Amino acid sequence: MKAVELMRNYDPKDFEERIYSEWKEKGEFSPSSSDKEHFSVVMPPPNVTGILHMGHALNNSLQDIIVRYQRMHGRPTLWVPGTDHAGIATQNVVERQLQKEGLRRQDLGREKFIERTWSVKEKHHDIIARQLEKMGCSCDWKHERFTMDEGLSRAVREAFVTLYERGLIYKGMYLVNYCPKCGTALADDEVEYENVPGKLYDVRYPYADGSGYITVATTRPETMFGDVAVAVHPDDERYKSVVGKELSLPLTDKKIPIITDRFVDMEFGTGMVKITPAHDPNDWECGKRHNLEAINLLNPDGTLNGNVPEKYRGMKAEEARALVVEDLEKGGYLVKITDHAHDVGHCYRCHTTVEPYLSEQWFVSMKSLADKALKAWKDGDIVFYPRRWENTYQHWMENIRDWCISRQLWWGHRIPVWYCQDCGKMIVSRTDPDECPECHSHSLKQDSDVLDTWFSSWLWPFSTLGWPDKTPDLEKFFPTNTLVSAYDIIFFWISRMIMASEEFLGKAPFRDIVITGLVRDIQGRKMSKSLGNGIDPIEVIDKYGADAMKFTLCYLAAQGQDVMIDMDSFRLGSRFANKIWNAARYLLMNIEGRNLVEIKREKLNVMDRWIYSRFNDSAREIADAMANYRFNESAQAIYSFFWNDFCDWYIEASKDRLFHGSDEEKDLQVSILMDILEKSMRLMHPFLSFITEEIYQKLPNHKGDVIASSYPEYDPLLDDKEAMTLVSSLQEASRVVRAARASLQIPPEKKLKVVVRIGKDNAASSFMNDELSLLSSFMNASEVIIDMEGKEDVKGALPASGIGFEAFVFVREAIDIESEIKKLEGEIEKNEKLLEGSVKKLSNEAFVSHAKPEAVEKEKSKKAEFEDKIEKAKAHIELLKSF
């Protein structure tokens, strides 16, 4: 064989891009036609708003590892990539763009606006796809989907209409969370609560008959125009007598009653609550119980409407509040203002304060869906990794609330509902109707709202495979096997996918749900755009390579723990990749003129058997870890096998036979090295995909591409306990001698005689006796004697003991003990004098109190240094005297 030119240094830029396109061209990412059991994963679709962040990198790295691992097990494997249209988020991006041009979306009109959004989508999509490719994701691009694709849009309509037909979708006036900035309703879980300092205003409401007043507490005095009652707790003795009396609402001439309701907390404030059904969820519920009117005070843009006195109309809530408070004070109604921190809802997209807003919206009735999803979990159809997330899942499912799915946006799936302009008939249809079934009018108008983004994402595991059609893909790859996602979208997405799958296909969409941690910065903060603390995966790849990134993330991704990283963290993976590169380079350099021979078990020596056994062990560890999605354990197994066992011990041990053996021995040695290297590339490929492919291609014994090769399986026949024990004894002996040398700082060029006293009954004794030259090189010894009879003269040698043996290192040859001791004594003397001076200085009050603090500190550290040197020298002398 000829040596392989791999002389250049490790630089992922030399091959990562090239290899990716080769894989892609060869169709390696498409499922094979093997008749083994299918394996499929759907990629959580990134939003087309932005570029991928570190969280995506983590997610997709883990998916890639799983997918490559399964593919190498011969299963027809499909990983479906795609993107999400991300309604609000994307619309916001485009609106911000327009804003810069001084335009509003209304200036463009719906059609033009959507056109423009599509082009933004295209642009971001291309960036995202490019990023996934750079990461090395082995997803099947032929199966790529977008949530607003034609096919997926059809799935959305099918889902909507089906649910409607099953009576699970309804429309009505409800109090919903409303973002005035985005101009749309939000689902409950799209609201983020934040504790903010605010004020609590105590306001007097006089009795209508002028017989005095009561006091209510409120954080939002400006909503008082929507008050329809004041409530007290029915058991509240203080107010029993006033229940039923009428109050006169300040600043208006409105009369409202005092009622009782159990939701009132007697302890809070005065125990009296004003009821404003249109602007508070509790009041809304209370209002329904008492049949009270809900008076909406807001326009869709968040300003006050015609239901408030004229002077406040058109004002924003905050402005109006200030003015109302002022007016209340003037009228003598304001009792006091106290500081009051409370949680205020904000839009999860634009962070504007969310208003409870009375409006007509579409809802999905969730109870029956949740029951099925809960049953799927109880039946064991889905399993969370780690298990603890099942509590969260269960809790959410058991406390499910109806899902507001309409959004007053333009970007998204139009609600498939039409209204006849002539007879008012509502038409819910899978296809666009062109005439009213009732009056045959052609004047139909589609509902102007779009659906919540998650209404398309919750269909993702099957809509991407062709549903509602019964496609071969759906047949083969549904249900999918594993879903990898972060915990922050368990409610938004994971739970709903399970509900949709159960509802529409009667099956869970996947069995294993792998919940990853969140990627945080080194201070533990969530990476975010606004903090500017994010790390761009592409920068990481440019600096360290995709392999380094994937391996590092995998190594750090312990069972759902958050991962804290900075740019430097990726050096871990980078150094490992470099190590692999150099090991391969070295081995390939030394195959010149050698032949690959058959590796017969009986020809293997103990070291060979050991490395095979260790390799086998690692394969088992990885299989165990992967079966439980313990990625960090797999990564560690690989790391320690390749670096610590293969490089540090086996390759080093092989040098003797490789450089000094017979031709036959050399051929065997090279063959074994190539065999282990080839197996290692396969073992490591899911975790370090590019470098293993690059090296694999250059191996004399490779077959095809490593991506399409088979994964090394654990083979109990290769287990070799004997070799493991023997080699660990040899390693132990080597370490003991190395440590002894190091403690005396004997330079490497001084080679010393070593006697290893080890009983005949110890199994390692004859093995070591057979491997004298190996031991010599590990111990850097001139001569190694294995003393089984205990007869060797070890006088004057430095003893170093290990488990089951003693080693004696003849250091006399390397050092002159007498003069060494003298030298050390001289050093002690010198340092003692220095120490004395130092101590004197430091005990001098004047010095300590007057000298610069730095000088005192410096003196103190000098003193410590002298003491340390003396101590060390003394110990050194003791050591020398001891032999």
Partner RNA sequence: GGAGGAUUAGCUCAGCGGGAGAGCGCUUGCCUUACAAGCAAGAUGUCACAAGUUCAAUCCUUGUAUCCUCCACCA
Contact 764/804 with Cβ under 8 angstroms? yes
Reduced 3-state DSSP string for 670-724 = HHHHHHHHHHHHHHHCCCCHHHHHHHHHHCCCCCCCHHHCCCCCCCHHHCCHHHH
* Interface residue with RNA, options 655, 750, 812, 862 (CB under 7 A): 655
* Interface residue with RNA, options 280, 452, 608, 693 (CB under 7 A): 280
**Shortest approach of RNA to residue 754 CB, angstroms?**
14
Q: Residues near 676 by Cβ (< 8 Å), separated by ≥ 6? A: 611, 612, 615, 646, 650
Phi and psi torsions of 559, nearest 5° = 20, 65
Determine if 533 is a binding residue for RNA (CB under 7 A): no
**Shortest approach of RNA to residue 566 CB, angstroms?**
9
Phi and psi torsions of 802, nearest 5° = -130, -175
Question: Smaller CB distance to RNA: residue 30 or 632?
Answer: 632
* Interface residue with RNA, options 297, 324, 484, 583 (CB under 7 A): 583
* Interface residue with RNA, options 216, 258, 786, 877 (CB under 7 A): 216
Determine if 264 is a binding residue for RNA (CB under 7 A): yes
**Residue 385: which H helix or E strand, with range?**
strand 383-385
Determine if 745 is a binding residue for RNA (CB under 7 A): yes
Question: Smaller CB distance to RNA: residue 48 or 583?
Answer: 583
Determine if 579 is a binding residue for RNA (CB under 7 A): yes
Determine if 274 is a binding residue for RNA (CB under 7 A): yes
β-pair type (752-758, 805-809): antiparallel
Binding mask 589-608 for RNA (x = CB under 7 A): x-------------------
Q: What is the dihedral of CA 855, 859, 861, 866, to 10 degrees?
A: 160
The residue behind tokens 């499912």 is 397
Q: Which stretch binds RNA (CB under 7 A): 7-15, 599-607, 693-701, 750-758?
A: 7-15
Q: Which stretch binds RNA (CB under 7 A): 314-322, 446-454, 467-475, 732-740?
A: 732-740
Q: Which stretch binds RNA (CB under 7 A): 127-135, 157-165, 733-741, 849-857?
A: 733-741
**Shortest approach of RNA to residue 435 CB, angstroms?**
43
Question: Smaller CB distance to RNA: residue 525 or 703?
Answer: 525
CA distance 540 to 755: 51
Determine if 524 is a binding residue for RNA (CB under 7 A): yes
Determine if 585 is a binding residue for RNA (CB under 7 A): yes
Residues 843-882 that bind RNA (CB under 7 A): none
**Shortest approach of RNA to residue 795 CB, angstroms?**
24
Residues 169-188 that bind RNA (CB under 7 A): 188
Helix 631-639, helix 606-627: angle, nearest 10: 170
Residue 597: DSSP 8-state: -
**Shortest approach of RNA to residue 557 CB, angstroms?**
9
Q: Residues near 384 by Cβ (< 8 Å), separated by ≥ 6? A: 390, 393, 513, 515
Q: Tokens for 392?
A: 């969260």
* Interface residue with RNA, options 343, 398, 592, 836 (CB under 7 A): 343
Neighbours of 527 (CB within 10 A): 17
Residues 95-134 that bind RNA (CB under 7 A): none
Residues 46-65 that bind RNA (CB under 7 A): none
| Identity of the residue numbered 450 | V
Q: How far is CA 271 from the centre of its chain?
A: 46
Determine if 443 is a binding residue for RNA (CB under 7 A): no
Determine if 307 is a binding residue for RNA (CB under 7 A): no
CA distance 79 to 465: 11
Determine if 313 is a binding residue for RNA (CB under 7 A): no
The residue behind tokens 């107010």 is 239
The residue behind tokens 């975010």 is 528
- E-state strands within 582-654: none
Neighbours of 738 (CB within 10 A): 15
Q: Which stretch binds RNA (CB under 7 A): 162-170, 272-280, 714-722, 754-762?
A: 272-280
* Interface residue with RNA, options 103, 193, 360, 822 (CB under 7 A): 193
Binding mask 483-522 for RNA (x = CB under 7 A): -----x--x------------------------------x
Question: Smaller CB distance to RNA: residue 48 or 733?
Answer: 733
**Shortest approach of RNA to residue 339 CB, angstroms?**
13
* Interface residue with RNA, options 21, 99, 701, 743 (CB under 7 A): 743
**Shortest approach of RNA to residue 879 CB, angstroms?**
13
Q: How far apart are the first and last CA of the chain?
A: 52
Question: Smaller CB distance to RNA: residue 105 or 741?
Answer: 741
Question: Smaller CB distance to RNA: residue 330 or 342?
Answer: 342
Residues 194-213 that bind RNA (CB under 7 A): 200
**Residue 260: which H helix or E strand, with range?**
strand 255-260
Residues 678-717 that bind RNA (CB under 7 A): none
Q: Which stretch binds RNA (CB under 7 A): 4-12, 324-332, 437-445, 675-683?
A: 4-12
* Interface residue with RNA, options 204, 313, 603, 738 (CB under 7 A): 738
Contact 677/584 with Cβ under 8 angstroms? yes
Neighbours of 320 (CB within 10 A): 23
Burial of 579 (0-12, 13-18, 19+ CB in 10 A): middle
Contact 693/706 with Cβ under 8 angstroms? yes
Q: Residues near 645 by Cβ (< 8 Å), separated by ≥ 6? A: 611, 614
Determine if 614 is a binding residue for RNA (CB under 7 A): no
* Interface residue with RNA, options 102, 532, 748, 853 (CB under 7 A): 748
Q: Tokens for 511?
A: 């069995």
* Interface residue with RNA, options 308, 553, 572, 786 (CB under 7 A): 572
Determine if 765 is a binding residue for RNA (CB under 7 A): no
Question: Smaller CB distance to RNA: residue 107 or 488?
Answer: 488
Q: Which residues pair with 686 in a beta bridge?
A: none
Own/partner contacts of 520-527, CB < 8 Å, gap of 24 or more, are 520/562, 520/563, 520/564, 520/565, 521/564, 521/565, 521/566, 522/564, 522/565, 522/566, 523/564, 524/562, 524/564, 527/53, 527/54, 527/55
Total of chain residues touching RNA, rule CB under 7 A: 77
Residues 238-257 that bind RNA (CB under 7 A): none
**Shortest approach of RNA to residue 568 CB, angstroms?**
7
Residues 550-569 that bind RNA (CB under 7 A): 556, 558-559, 561-565, 568
Determine if 837 is a binding residue for RNA (CB under 7 A): no
Q: Which stretch binds RNA (CB under 7 A): 529-537, 665-673, 741-749, 822-830?
A: 741-749
Residues 66-95 that bind RNA (CB under 7 A): none
**Sheet of strand 805-809: strand arrangement:** 781-787, 752-758, 805-809, 798-802
Determine if 219 is a binding residue for RNA (CB under 7 A): yes
* Interface residue with RNA, options 118, 141, 207, 586 (CB under 7 A): 586
CA distance 53 to 553: 13
CA distance 80 to 144: 6
Q: Tokens for 402?
A: 């109806």
* Interface residue with RNA, options 50, 74, 269, 837 (CB under 7 A): 269
Residues 348-407 that bind RNA (CB under 7 A): 388, 391-392, 395-396, 399
Question: Smaller CB distance to RNA: residue 558 or 834?
Answer: 558
Residues 619-638 that bind RNA (CB under 7 A): 630, 632-633, 636
